[in-house]
């Protein structure tokens, strides 16, 4: 959901948000930001994306469950989220990561408003419904 909301805001300023593995995802450009969420921090395909992204001049922000992982070592900024593991219960890492990232589109809207950028009404209505 964070990617969807950030996508709405970025589209309004003439840029895009892409979700990895979609057929429309272009090659990274220098200065692009890849936000990676990985519990283990060792998923081979995701680590490969990170290596490619760095090689093409992009920056990486990683939300990981293992701060000593390959993906964490490739990232420019790392946010470790370590959730307790309870036998017989689902891992809460991805729920915690989603909640942690949820303010991202709100912060982006606030920054754009501060510099005087006018956003479309549907984005402002969503923002105001949250900030009430």
Could you identify the residue written with the tokens 């589209």?
Answer: 11
pLDDT at 56 over 80: yes
DSSP class of residue 117 equals P
For range 89-102, the mean pLDDT:
87
The tens digit of pLDDT for each residue in 33-51 reads 889 999 999 999 999 989 9
Q: Report the C-alpha gap between 47 and 75 in whole angstroms.
A: 10
Q: CA torsion, points 118, 124, 127, 132, in degrees to nearest 10?
A: 120
31-101 has which fold? Rossmann fold (3.40.50)
Q: Look over the chain and give the mean of its residue pLDDT values, rounded to a whole number.
A: 85
Q: Report the C-alpha gap between 9 and 120 in whole angstroms.
A: 9
For range 55-72, the mean pLDDT:
94
pLDDT at 4 over 80: no
Q: Is the torsion defined by CA of 67, 76, 42, 38 positive or negative?
A: positive
Domain chopping of the chain, boundaries: 1-24+103-132, 31-101
């Amino acid at each position: 959901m964070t990617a969807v909301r950030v996508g709405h805001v970025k589209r309004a300023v003439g840029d895009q948000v892409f979700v990895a593995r979609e057929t429309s995802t272009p090659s990274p450009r220098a200065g692009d930001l890849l936000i990676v969420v990985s519990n283990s921090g060792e998923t081979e395909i995701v680590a490969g994306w990170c290596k490619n992204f760095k090689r093409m001049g992009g920056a990486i922000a990683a939300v990981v469950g293992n701060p000593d992982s390959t993906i964490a070592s490739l990232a420019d900024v790392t946010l470790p989220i370590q959730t307790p593991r309870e036998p017989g219960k689902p891992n809460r890492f991805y729920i915690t990561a989603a909640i942690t990232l949820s303010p991202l589109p709100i912060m982006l809207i606030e920054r754009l408003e501060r510099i005087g950028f006018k956003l479309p009404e549907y984005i402002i209505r969503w923002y105001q419904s949250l900030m009430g």
